[in-house]
Chain A
Amino acid sequence: MSDRALITGIGVVAPNGLGVKEYWNATLEGRGGIAPLTRFDASRYPSRLAGQILGFDPAEHLPNRLLPQTDVSTRLALVAAEQALADGGVDPAELVDFDLGVITSNASGGFAFTHREFANLWSKGPEYVSVYESFAWFYAVNTGQVSIRHKLRGPGAALVAEQAGGLDALGHARRSLRLGTPLVVTGGVDSALDPWGWASHLSSGLISDSDDPDRAYLPFDARARGHVPGEGGAFLVMEDEQGALRRGAGQVYGELAGYAATFDPHPDSGRPPALRRAAELAIADAGLEPSDIGVVFADAAGSADLDRTEAEAIAAVFGPRGVPVAAPKALTGRLLAGGGPLDVVAALFALRDGLLPAVPYEGETPDAYGIDLVRGTPRPTSARAALVLARGRWGFNSAVVVKAADRG
Chain B
Amino acid sequence: MTRRVVVTGLGVRAPGGSGARQFWDLLSSGRTATRSITSFDASACRSQVAGEIDFDPVAEGLSPREIRRMDRAAQFAVVCSREAVADSGLSFEGVRPERIGVSVGSAVAAAMSLEKEYRVLSDQGREWEVDPTYLTPHMFDHMVPSVLGAEVAWTVGAEGPVTVVSDGCTSGLDSVGYACRLIQEGSVDVMLAGATDTPLTPIVAACFDAIKATTPRNDDAEHASRPFDLSRNGFVLAEGAAMFVLEEYESAVRRGARIYAEVTGYATRLNAHHMTGLKTDGREMAEAIRVALDESRIDPTAIDYVNAHGSGTKQNDRHETAAFKRSLGDHAYAVPVSSIKSMVGHSLGAIGSIEIAASLLALTHQVVPPTANLHTADPECDLDYVPLTAREARLRSVLTVGSGFGGFQSAMVLRRPEEAAA
Contacts and interface: CB of A to CB of B under 8 A. Distances in A.
A159 B255 CA distance: 32
B165 A159 contact: yes
A151 interface: yes
B118 A144 contact: no
B166 interface: yes
* Most chain B C-beta atoms within 10 Å of own C-beta, residue among A46, A140, A143, A159: A140
B261 interface: no
Contact of B140 (A141, A151, A203): A203
A220 interface: no
B181 interface: yes
Given A121-B202, A263-B161, A154 B273 contact: no
Interface string B387-419: 000000000000000001111100000000000
Contacts of B108: 137-138
B406 A141 contact: yes
Contact of A200 (B44, B142, B157, B162): B142
B207 interface: yes
B77 interface: no
Interface in B111-156: 114-115, 118-119, 121-122, 124-126, 128-132, 135-147, 149-150, 153-154
Contacts of A240: none
Interface stretch (B84-92, B264-272, B362-370): B264-272
B323 to A, nearest CB: 14
A303 to B, nearest CB: 14
A108 interface: yes
Contact of A138 (B107, B124, B146): B107
Interface residues on A, range: 35 or more
Closest 3 pairs between A and B when the two form their complex, measured CB to CB: A144-B406, A122-B125, A139-B166
A148 B159 contact: no
A261 to B, nearest CB: 4
B148 to A, nearest CB: 8
B135 A263 contact: no
Interface residues on B, range: 35 or more
A205 B137 contact: yes
B102 interface: yes
Contacts of B164: 159-161
A118 B122 contact: yes
A256 interface: no
A147 interface: yes
Contacts of A138: 107-108, 166, 168, 405-406
Contact of A175 (B98, B165, B167, B185): B185
Given A134-B208, A140-B406, 8 more contacts: A111-B143, A122-B122, A134-B213, A135-B406, A160-B163, A175-B181, A263-B101, A393-B141
A54 interface: no
Contacts of B167: 140, 143, 156-158
Contacts of A40: 128-129
Contact of B139 (A160, A200, A265, A271): A200
A64 to B, nearest CB: 16
Given A40-B128, A196-B122, A203-B136, A394 B166 contact: no
Interface string A141-180: 1011101101111111111111011001000100100010
Given A152-B272, A265-B159, A144 B125 contact: no
Interface string A380-398: 0000000000001111100
Interface string B156-197: 011111111111100100100010010001010000000000
Contact of B143 (A41, A124, A197, A262): A197
A405 interface: no
Contacts of A129: 203, 206-207, 209-210
Contacts of A394: 141, 146-147, 150
Nearest to A192: B143
A201 interface: yes
B125 A123 contact: yes
B132 A45 contact: yes
Given A69-B275, A138-B108, A199 B269 contact: no
15 contacts: A127-B44, A129-B203, A129-B206, A138-B406, A144-B270, A144-B408, A153-B272, A154-B269, A156-B406, A160-B109, A160-B145, A172-B178, A200-B144, A393-B147, A394-B146
A323 interface: no
Given A126-B202, A144-B275, A147-B406, A395 B130 contact: no
B97 interface: yes
Given A147-B272, A261-B161, A395-B150, A199 B406 contact: no
A262 B144 contact: no
* Most chain B C-beta atoms within 10 Å of own C-beta, residue among A261, A274, A394: A394
Contacts of A124: 125
B146 A263 contact: no
A160 B44 CA distance: 33
A121 B162 contact: no
A119 interface: yes
Contacts of A140: 107, 166-168, 171, 404-406, 408
Contact of B268 (A41, A155, A197, A396): A155
A295 interface: no
Contact of B137 (A117, A158, A203, A395): A203
Contacts of A21: none
Nearest to B213: A134
Given A126-B202, A161-B162, A200-B139, A143 B98 contact: no
A247 interface: no
Contacts of A130: 210
B287 interface: yes
Contacts of A29: none
Contacts of B406: 135, 138, 140-141, 143-145, 147, 156
A395 B130 CA distance: 29
B95 interface: no
Contacts of B168: 135, 138, 140, 144
Contacts of B97: 265, 271
A41 B142 CA distance: 24
B211 interface: yes
A140 B147 CA distance: 17
Given A118-B115, A129-B206, A158 B165 contact: yes
B158 A263 contact: yes
A195 interface: yes
A135 B28 CA distance: 34
A119 B122 contact: yes
Nearest to B143: A200
B139 to A, nearest CB: 4
Contact of A134 (B118, B142, B276): B276
A159 to B, nearest CB: 5
Contacts of B149: 160-161, 263, 396
